[in-house]
Amino acid sequence: MQSQTKRLLTAEQLDAMLRRSSGTGCRLEGELTDGWFNSAYRVRLDDGRPAVVKVAPPDGVPVLRYERGIMATEAMVYRQLDAAGGVPQPELIHQGPDFLVISVLDGLPWDKAGGDKADGHEALRHELGRITARLHTVRSPDGRFGYPAPEAGLDGPDWPTAFTAMTEALLADADRWEIQLDHPHAEIRSLVAAGTGALAEVTEPALVHFDLWPGNIFIANRSVTGLIDHERAFYGDPAAELVSLDFGGDTGPASPLVTGYREAGGRLDFTPTLHHRLALYRLYLGLLLVAECGPRGYTDADHIAFSRGMLRDAVRALRELG
């Protein structure tokens, strides 16, 4: 995916960057073009190991507020999940000042391996539910909700405060890039405010990946081999994970994914307030997808229509909740 936030490097620049930071150089094997924010390169390190180098946008390139400092967030999540155990992911080989070096996973991204037609799809969703439950056992180290990067400044002592700040930041981003939303800012604020009581039911800030669509889940031999791209992670309501997980299959109460989640100790009670929160999280993701078209320079009509459609559907659902 082409994006204005991607930094394009030559083989010589990549090698020099790694050598300065880690003492180990690399040989470029190819650019990985599926990412939508960072640039990524498949390389062979001097010691022979295959690896992926993820490079943050160039200094001075405008990004959404929540995206400030998210390369460090991704590295932090790799370390947290490694310490917690039970969540397959790449090895974090090295963290540079504006890049990460991670190991290469076995298999393919789920969307490239057949999506919902992949061999053993239901069993894979069941396994993914169990993995997601283990991911959610990680808690905020300081007890605060929201995005962990201090550069973003989008956290708070409780979930309603943090979520409201996160939404306000996206509204401000839409204004900054002169993106006309299909709904007045005042209506979106009103819908979020009406959900404060439902949001307040969340009292423990769990780690939420918030980008578990099939492209960020690797599979091989009917097994999940790893989760990637942790940079969008925040501390908040574990149920928010269902919004991106829904892109890969059923997330209803009787689904294989939720069954696996509960078997691994995760709690999901599909109460009216949970459905209210899920509608808010769909609103948030829809707003995020629309707003990011500005700094990234997206012009793909299908993607823009999908993003705006998601936002419209969430607004409609929240209106119906009253």
Range of the domain at 142: 108-321
Give dist(CA 146, CA 134) in Å, integer. Answer: 19
Residue 236: pLDDT above 50?
Answer: yes
Q: Bridge-partner residues for 223, per DSSP?
A: 220
Q: Dihedral sign for Cα 256, 257, 261, 267, please.
A: negative
| β-pair type (145-146, 108-109) | unpaired
Residue 2: pLDDT above 60?
Answer: no
Based on the fold, state whether residues 222 and 267 are members of the same structural domain.
yes
What pLDDT sits at residue 4? 61
96 near 21, Cβ under 8 Å?
yes
The first and second tokens of residue 289, run together, are 């997808």
Count how many domains the chain has: 2
Give dist(CA 149, CA 70) in Å, integer. Answer: 7
Asked, for residue 285, whether it belongs to a domain, the answer is yes
Domain end among 83, 103, 123: 103
Based on the fold, state whether residues 162 and 258 are members of the same structural domain.
yes
Query: Where is average pLDDT lowest: 28-37, 137-146, 173-182, 312-321?
Result: 28-37
Percentage above 90 pLDDT, the chain:
86
Angle value at C-alpha 93, between 92 and 94, nearest 5 degrees: 100
Q: pLDDT tens-digit profile of 70-93?
A: 999 999 999 999 999 999 999 999
Based on the fold, state whether residues 93 and 135 are members of the same structural domain.
no
| Mean pLDDT score across all residues of the chain | 94
What pLDDT sits at residue 232? 95
The first and second tokens of residue 69, run together, are 């400092």
Which are the contacts of 227, defined by CB distance < 8 A and separation ≥ 6? 87, 88, 89, 131, 135, 209, 212, 216, 217, 218
Give dist(CA 318, CA 282) in Å, integer. Answer: 10
The first and second tokens of residue 308, run together, are 């705006």
What pLDDT sits at residue 1? 47
Residue 175: pLDDT above 70?
Answer: yes
Residue 300 pLDDT class (50, 70, 90 cuts): confident
Asked, for residue 206, whether it belongs to a domain, the answer is yes
Asked, for residue 223, whether it belongs to a domain, the answer is yes
Residue 3: pLDDT above 60?
Answer: no
Asked, for residue 2, whether it belongs to a domain, the answer is no
Q: Bridge-partner residues for 95, per DSSP?
A: 100
Based on the fold, state whether residues 85 and 116 are members of the same structural domain.
no
DSSP string, 212-245: -SGGGEEEETTEEEEE---TT-EEE-GGGHHHHH
258 near 267, Cβ under 8 Å?
no
Based on the fold, state whether residues 234 and 281 are members of the same structural domain.
yes
Based on the fold, state whether residues 291 and 262 are members of the same structural domain.
yes
DSSP one-letter code for 192 = H
Residue 179: pLDDT above 70?
Answer: yes
Based on the fold, state whether residues 263 and 139 are members of the same structural domain.
yes
What pLDDT sits at residue 5? 63
Residue 36 pLDDT class (50, 70, 90 cuts): low
Q: pLDDT tens-digit profile of 95-122?
A: 998 999 999 999 999 999 987 877 889 9
Q: Where are the alpha helices (DSSP H) in the chain?
A: 11-22, 70-84, 121-135, 159-176, 185-194, 196-199, 241-245, 256-263, 272-291, 293-296, 301-321
Based on the fold, state whether residues 196 and 183 are members of the same structural domain.
yes
Based on the fold, state whether residues 300 and 212 are members of the same structural domain.
yes
Give dist(CA 54, CA 81) in Å, integer. Answer: 19
